[in-house]
Structure 1
Amino acid sequence: MTNQGMISSHQNSFSALYRVFDLFTILMLLLLSASIYGISVTPLYFSAAMVAALGYLLMAESLEVYRSWRASTAMRMVTTTASAWAIVCVAILVIGFFAKVSESFSRLTIGTWMLASLFGLCGWRLAVRQVLYSLRVRGFNSRRVAIVGLNESAMRMRTQVEQHPQLGFHFDGFFDDRTHDRLADECGDEHLEGTIDELIDRTRNGEFDVIFIALPLKAQKRIAHILERCGDTTASVHLIPDFFTYNLLHARLGEIGTMQTLSVYDSPIFGINDVLKRMFDICFSLAVLAVIAVPMLVIAAAVKFTSRGPVIFKQARYGLDGRKILVWKFRSMTTMDNGDKVVQAKKGDARITKVGAFIRRTSLDELPQFINVLQGRMSVVGPRPHAVAHNEEYRKLIPYYMLRHKVKPGITGWAQINGYRGETDTLDKMSGRVDYDLEYIRKWSIWMDVKIIFLTIFKGFVGSHVH
């Protein structure tokens, strides 16, 4: 019989406990913050804290903070939790400003409380997660797993289960109605634990908690029959889609009327994520432009007085959803290709001016793109936009190339900090860049954007390979 885990047996109780602990964390950290600065907690402070706590609980509910994070990454859990609290903090500050009650509060106290609550809400979750992981590695709070089908996808799933014991999954065997002889080409010497009938009987007896179905989607009738039979058990059932498993872009369920759909190619930046990313882009761009305003004037003067032509080169490129946008750069060349054929700059290219060589090598030519970010055409982080002519060329040569336009193009990106920056003079280089762009879209989070910006500052701006 399976080892019954605490979370499985008392999931609703623990979910309610998490909410209580969040409420306690927010209120207690206000008291602590006030005591640090010698501020007495008046009813006004307490009322603000209660509004913030209740607002957080509602926002956390909306963002599904209280769901099970067993199979998700710690970063995604922290990002979701931090996003819920950040939205509440911004709302409170805006309400306080327009209600003209901000003067009634100590700014240091409120700032310390908001920051401490951010770390507190995320911190205790990470601590609990670590404790649960330690228990699961030791065999507690575990789920017994069976896999239907024996093929490459099934064996990959078995490998992932065994390589991540902290998830609390214990693999118990493959089940299939086909004989071992029929499966030999796919499974080699792998052993079948039994038939589907045996799996269902053993699951009814409580031997399995989770079932993964790794059959090809062309076996639709067979899958439907197995799902119907699994409906007579209490096991959690998951499908492993085969033909697009590694090409999904932010897969999620949706509804059109009464019909359910599964997105295959979609963007992770929608709804509240779109608002958060846009707020981040605006705040970061305004801060950067305030710092680089004078250097930009100096660069503009250098470009203007050392070569003929406009200071700003506006090139047509593809933006979000493949719509054409104009991307701004300081002009670094004597020509301004913007038609059906655009020749990429190469090392020693005669078209590059002396000033242009320096600003291209240091990426200073791209500083005007922070204005594009404020305009909403670009984001600070995202796949780099290519000239329209290059898009039309490579979309015919590289599978899934146009999926990189499911998000706004960026000034820097995941591909750039991984070495794919500057000239892409071979198909392999462009294909490598696209692979990193699609990986960015699959894994996107605000914290990933922050990480990319941080890495760009230290290794992404300057490079001898940039021409």
Structure 2
Amino acid sequence: MIASIKPDQSGFVWIHRVTDLILPFLTLSLSLLLYDVPWHDRYTVLGVLGGLVFVTAAQTVGIYQNWRGRTIYNSIQLIIKAWMITWSFLIILAFLVKDADNLSRGVLLIWATFTLITLVGYRFLIRITLIYFRKKGFNSRKIAIMGAGKVGQHLALVINENPWLGYQVIGFYDDNPSLATQKISDVLVLGSSDDIFSASQQGQFDELYICLPLRAEEKIKQLLNQLTDSTIIVKFIPDLFTFDLMHAKWTDLKGIPIVSVFDTPLSSTTARILKRSEDVILSFIILILISPILLTIASAIKLTSVGPVIFKQKRYGLNGEEIRVYKFRSMTTQDNGFVINQATKNDIRITPLGRFLRRTSLDELPQFINVLQGRMSIVGPRPHAVAHNEEYRQLIPKYMQRHLVKPGITGWAQINGWRGETDTLEKMEKRVEYDLHYINNWSLWLDVKIIVLTIFKGFIDKNAY
């Protein structure tokens, strides 16, 4: 039988619930006062419902789960999500009961904004206060780590580098005799697994983190059986290093823990809608703004060399499907077959105008049309030639994971200097490393950051020719 993973509970949770229940009612009262609207019973119902629905939504999205280790950014995201659910529910309900016309739109707008700011501000104040006291050693939990391998050492390092988490590592326990009484990552090995139970009975630590490889199943079971006769909290961290899963994402399906080995935040419907909206709006605006530049470049290409203005290249897109990518022609036309000769410095195939276009990345401007078509995104891994894909997918692990998202006009690798000719395997490996970082950590804010940095440092590059 597979056990459910249950969220940690603490006294703080009930404080948060009560506060979240009261705040929408209080902010609605202040909104009525500020907008000079007289109180009515319908606003009483709205305020009470607002608190009840928000607490329910907050529970659903996971706000009340143990948030030691959760970033403030992630907490704010969850609060916004829960409040948007609440707001949508209340608006729909008001229309269904045909009471929307009796509610002041100005009050509702102020209330929605004020409540969100208050909920975020409350969490931020609590977080700052706890961080301050935890750094001083208060509200801290003592933890022991069973297993001084890579996972245990990594856990100890993360905790010691982030005192605001409120954890204090008292030591390792490991069954390797050669590690007895040694210091690893500035943490002392206190003993073996046989010493853990007696240490727990003496109250030497509050929590035990088991960081053993999966092959130690019998040892883990034996340890857990012993600790059932104690009151300490026991947590198990699987050996993700063994399977190279350090960037894997954890989810659950009705209490069943699931590891997303090859996944991206963009796999969710909401994220894809946001990403597509960003692409359509920005590319449409940009194409209008740069249309004079596009016409000028097209005319210059037609006047200075023979051949088409636009060069259509075969590339792999989302899910490895073949797409056609547009570029201003900067060199002689070449089919992307099984052998590809990448442009090099002083390449005789590049026209004088083409050299300028490639150096300034102006040759890639037609790709905004690809973005509108849905073949590409503004931000994403740069599309490689078909022959390059076939070559490097055999040489670089996880290379094809670049195609979990649409290729982009600019990307995390490009603004960090990994663009242009990849004349060595190491250069391509670094580019792929940065591409996978983007895919694993995508957010709307990361896209904005990359776009802004591209404006200042991404267009002109000595490696582009």
Normalization by structure 2: what TM-score? Answer: 0.81
SS at 1:269 equivalent: helix
1:164 aligns with 162
Code of the residue aligned with 2:424 in structure 1: it is T
- Measured after TM superposition, the shift of residue 12 of structure 1 is 2.7
C-alpha distance in 2 between matches for 1:86 and 1:335: 51
Q: CA deviation at 1:389?
A: 0.9
Aligned pairs (5 A) from 1:117-266: 120-179=118-177, 181=178, 191-203=188-200, 207-232=204-229, 233-244=231-242, 247-255=245-253, 260-266=257-263
Root-mean-square deviation (CA), in Å?
Answer: 4.0
Equivalent position amino acid for 1:208 in 2:
F
Give the structure 1 partner of residue 319 of structure 2.
321
Unaligned 5+ segments in structure 2 are 1-7
**CA separation of 1:307 and 1:445: change in aligned 2, threshold 3 A:** same
Q: 1:54 to 1:12 in 2, by over 3 A?
A: closer
Cα 1:48/1:345, change in 2 over 3 Å: farther
3-state SS, counterpart of residue 214 of structure 2: coil
Residue-by-residue CA offset, 1:156-214 (whole Å, 9 max, x unaligned): 322221111111001111113443x3669995996432333432344356543332222
| Higher deviation after alignment, 451-460 or 314-323 | 314-323
Match of 1:365 in 2: 363
Contact 1:79/1:447 (CA < 8 Å) preserved in 2?
no
CA distance in 1, matches of 2:94, 2:183: 64
Q: Structure 2 CA distance, aligned partners of 1:294 and 1:246?
A: 49
Task: Note if contact 1:319-1:408 (Cα within 8 Å) is conserved in structure 2.
Answer: yes
Structure 1: how far apart are the matches of 2:278 and 2:168?
41
Q: Aligned partners of 2:246, 2:200: CA distance in 1, in Å?
A: 31
Which consecutive residues of structure 1, in runs of 5 or more, have no partner in the other structure? Answer: 1-6
TM-score by length of structure 1 reads 0.81
8 and 53 in structure 1: CA distance in 2 versus 1, 3 angstrom threshold: closer
CA shift in 2, pair 1:144/1:247, >3 Å? same
Structure 1 residues 152, 172: CA separation in 2 closer, same or farther (over 3 Å shift)?
same
Could you say what secondary structure the match of 1:20 adopts? helix
Verify the 8 A CA contact 1:330 1:366 in the aligned structure 2: yes
Q: Which residue of 2 aligns with 1:378?
A: 376
Moved more, 72-81 or 381-390: 72-81
Matches within 5 A, 1:62-461: 62-82=60-80, 120-179=118-177, 181=178, 191-203=188-200, 207-232=204-229, 233-244=231-242, 247-255=245-253, 260-271=257-268, 272-461=270-459
Q: State the aligned residue count.
A: 454
- What is the rounded CA distance, in whole Å, between the counterparts of 1:61 and 1:9 in structure 2? 14
Paired residue type of 2:290: I
Q: Contact between 1:334 and 1:352, CA under 8 Å: does it hold in 2?
A: yes
Kept in 1, the 8 Å contact 2:381–2:408? The answer is yes
Q: Could you give the per-residue CA deviations for residues 62-114 of structure 1, whole angstroms, max 9, x where no partner exists? A: 443443332122333334444555688899999999x9x99x9879x887776
Per-residue Cα deviation, 1:123-166 (whole angstroms, up to 9, x for no partner): 44333222211111111221111100122332232222111111
2:16 alignment counterpart: 15
Match of 1:464 in 2: 462
Check conservation: 1:27, 1:50, Cα contact below 8 A.
Answer: no
Structure 2: distance between partners of 1:286 and 1:59: 36
For the residues of structure 2 that align with 1:416 and 1:95, how far apart are their CA atoms? 48
User: CA shift at 1:220, angstroms?
Assistant: 2.8
What does the per-residue CA deviation read over 1:199-237, in whole Å, with 9 as the maximum and x for residues that have no partner? 234435654333222222332332343344445545040
The question of whether the paired residues in 2 share the 8 Å contact of 1:316 and 1:338 is answered with: yes
Alignment partner of 1:219: what SS? helix
Counterpart code for 2:16: S
The AA in structure 2 aligned to 1:348 is N
Deviates more, 1:409-418 or 1:323-332: 323-332
Percent identity of equivalent pairs:
43
More divergent stretch after superposition (317-326 vs 47-56): 47-56
- CA distance change for structure 1 residues 193 and 20 in 2, over 3 Å: closer, same or farther? same
**Counterpart secondary structure, 2:134:** helix
